[in-house]
A and B are shown apart, each in its own frame.
Chain A
Amino acid sequence: MARTVEAAKCANCGKLSYPRHYYCPACHGTKFEPVPIEGEGRLITWTRVYALPLDYAVRYTTLGIVELDMGVRATGQLDIAEPKTGQRVRARVGTVREINGKDVAGLIFGAV
């Protein structure tokens, strides 16, 4: 299982994007270098969700969108009991779902 989640840095103009698009949103370049998503950021919104899809044997999950200091935004799970919009969080990579018996790695944000 891949233990990193990667943003894409355009080889032409250096623009960082996530999720990756086929063309660079800034210069339409098509070559990218992977850059691991890591570090701290600010929680811009979140939800505790009880309407879960398949694969989750829990009552709820907590999800949020984070503006990372490295310059991209990412959606991930929150490992925070009482999240507050605007709070500082730190990204790590862990198992976020099991699909067809295989663990899927993704971003999990904890309080700083």
Chain B
Amino acid sequence: MRDVAIVGVGSTQFGRAQWSLLKMMCEASHDAIVDAGIGEKKIDAVYVANMGGSRNNRMAGLSSALVDRMNLYPHTVSETIENGPASGASAIKHGMHSVASGHCDLVLVCGGERMQEVNNFEATEFVSYLSHRYAEYVYGVTLPSLAGMFTRLYMERYGLEPRHLAMVAIKNHENGAKNRKAHLRIPVTMEGILTGPDALNNNPWIAEPLRFFDCCPVSDGASAVLLAPAEMAKQFAKTPVLIAGMGQATDSQAVQDRPDPTELTAVRMAAERAFAMAKLAPKDIHVAELHDAFTILEIAESEECGFFKKGEGHKALERGETKIGGKLPINPSGGLKARGHPVGNTGVSQVVELALQLRGEAGDYQVPNQPKHGFAVNFGGFGNNVVATVLKRGV
């Protein structure tokens, strides 16, 4: 098996798309091709990550559409990967396998999602298809409601308070404000969203105890990475970033079915597998992008991945350890919370952000001291399919 490197990255603006889903994906892919300093004709394979194209955009077989739009036929092979909100990292995993096996040399992985083509009820509905059909969905269970029930248990068990959840939102909005491609570039304050007289107007309940600013926005956006064998990586324009480890794990579809519903077993196992492949440990990581679709998830995942002890993630947050400049900056890009969460694309966008950090190109939100190792968690369903990635600067 060959080591695999990221040799090019690209991304659109996140938020409300100005273009069609396909054009966004072309834009991100073209950015990655230009970043790598190559011609598109050299691409052997295309993996597209998307979750809602069939329902929200009336498009299926997206990878074929992208190959057509970018004139990559007939030599390029392509597939679309749908793995819920973990589609992005799943597509990168498939791309990595295809290069590692020697089957392909240059692989384009592009994630794209255009959710704002439908209204918010439709968007919430289509994401709720991830829940268990008979044990959850029929009751009107949505992802925010699973997160709300999880949060209540977590707060009771570990002593988290609403201010800890707000601290995640405040930190990630502050980071997102520095990221010109982020969906939400509005800093928020504790007074504005929790303690002030207008807080409940600014920040109404979504799924108690979660409020509006505890939830990620509904975003459009596309991102792309180009993968190549590590041995060829120095032929490209930019510093290569090695995919040092990837791990994946699954869990019961229904949250109620887990022996302890506060445990995110698939996150823990995916992280352990990624660290084992990379021969690195949580203490070696300098920057992380975690799947904060809800503020509680950043805290819970930071514990399950081994960065902090169970029940102590919120204390590290309180001490400022997860800010840019802290011991382990988490979500310097703004995370899903502020950068945005175009569901099928998110896993690709996390890896793009980490690659920029490791290359020292993140600009206003660059983590200091030249980070060498990055880590991402891409969380599908409510934790029933999770992909973790460890990246390393250089090959």
A residues near B255, Cβ cutoff 8 Å: 65, 75
Contact A45–B261 (Cβ < 8 Å):
yes
Which residues in window 23-64 of A have CB below 8 A to B? 44-56, 61, 63-64
Interface residues of A in 61-75 (CB under 8 A from B): 61, 63-65, 73-75
Instruction: Pick from B138, B254, B256: contact of A97, CB below 8 A.
Output: B138
- For residue B144, which residue of chain A has the nearest CB? A51
Is there a chain B Cβ closer than 8 Å to A96's Cβ? yes
> Which range contains the number of A residues in contact with the other chain?
20 to 34
Interface residue? A87 (CB, 8 A): no
Nearest-Cβ distance from residue B134 to partner chain A, whole angstroms: 6
Q: Are A53 and B134 in contact (CB under 8 A)?
A: no
Identity of the chain B residue whose Cβ is nearest the Cβ of A44 in the assembled complex: B153
Distance between B39 CB and nearest chain A CB, rounded to angstroms: 45
Specify which chain A residues have a CB less than 8 angstroms from the CB of B144 in the assembled complex: 49, 51
Interface residues of A, dominant DSSP: strand
B124 and A65 contacting across the interface, CB-CB below 8 Å? no
B261–A53 touching, CB < 8 Å? no
Q: How many Å from the CB of B305 to the closest CB on chain A? A: 23
B145 interface residue (CB < 8 Å to A)? yes
A97 with B140: CB separation less than 8 A: yes
Q: Which residues 96-153 of B have a CB within 8 angstroms of A?
A: 121-122, 124-125, 128, 132, 134-136, 138-142, 144-145, 148-150, 152-153
B124 in contact with A75 (CB, 8 Å): no
Known: A74-B135, A74-B256. A45 touches B153 (CB 8 A): yes
CB atoms of B156 and A47 under 8 A apart: no
Which residue of A is nearest B156, CB measured? A85
A53–B124 contact, CB under 8 A?
Answer: yes
- Looking at the assembled complex, report how far the CB atom of B130 sits from the nearest CB atom of chain A, in whole angstroms: 11
* A45→B149 contact, CB < 8 A: yes
Partner of B208 from the list A19, A48, A74, A106 (CB cut-off 8 Å) is A48
Shortest CB–CB separation between residue A17 and chain B, in angstroms? 8
Closest A residue to B126 by CB, please name it. Answer: A53
CB <8 Å contact, B256 and A56: no
Is there an interface contact between A45 and B215, defined as CB atoms closer than 8 Å? no
Q: How many residues of B contact A (CB 8 A)?
A: 35
Cα(A37)–Cα(B190), bound, Å:
44
Q: With A19-B254, A45-B261 in contact, is A52–B140 under 8 Å at CB?
A: yes
* A49, B142: Cβ atoms closer than 8 Å: yes
Of all chain B residues, the one with the shortest Cβ separation from A104 is: B138
A96 to B145, CA, bound (A): 15
Q: Give the chain A neighbours of B142 by CB distance below 8 A.
A: 49, 51-53
B204 an interface residue at 8 Å Cβ cutoff?
Answer: yes
The one of A19, A51, A96, A107 that contacts B124, using a Cβ cutoff of 8 Å: A51
Given the known inter-chain contacts A65-B256, A75-B256, please indicate yes or no for A47 contacting B138, CB distance below 8 A.
no
Does A99 count as interface, using CB distance less than 8 angstroms?
Answer: yes
Asked if A51 meets B207 with Cβ closer than 8 Å, knowing A75-B254, A77-B139, the reply is yes
B138, A49: Cβ atoms closer than 8 Å: no
A50 to B362, CA, bound (A): 37
User: In the assembled complex, which residues on chain A have CB atoms less than 8 Å from the CB atom of B256?
Assistant: 65, 73-75
With a CB–CB cut-off of 8 A, which chain B residues contact A61? 139-140
B191 at the interface (CB under 8 A from A): no
Q: How far is the CA of A36 from the CA of B148 in the complex (A)?
A: 28
Q: Which residues of B contact A53 (CB under 8 A)?
A: 121, 124-125, 128, 140, 142
**B138:A63 contact, CB within 8 angstroms:** no
Interface of chain A residues 92 through 112 with chain B (CB within 8 A): 96-97, 99, 104, 106-107
Given contacts A19-B134, A19-B257, A63-B145, list 20 more A-B pairs with CB under 8 A.
A18-B257, A45-B152, A49-B207, A50-B206, A51-B144, A51-B145, A51-B215, A52-B121, A53-B128, A53-B140, A55-B140, A61-B140, A63-B140, A65-B149, A65-B261, A73-B256, A75-B256, A76-B139, A104-B138, A106-B138
27 contacts between A and B (CB under 8 A): A19-B254, A45-B150, A47-B149, A47-B207, A47-B208, A48-B205, A48-B207, A49-B142, A49-B206, A50-B205, A51-B144, A51-B206, A51-B215, A52-B124, A52-B140, A53-B140, A54-B125, A56-B140, A61-B140, A63-B139, A64-B149, A65-B255, A65-B261, A74-B256, A77-B140, A85-B152, A106-B139
Which 7 A-B pairs give the minimum distances between C-beta atoms?
A47-B148, A19-B135, A53-B125, A49-B145, A51-B144, A49-B207, A45-B149
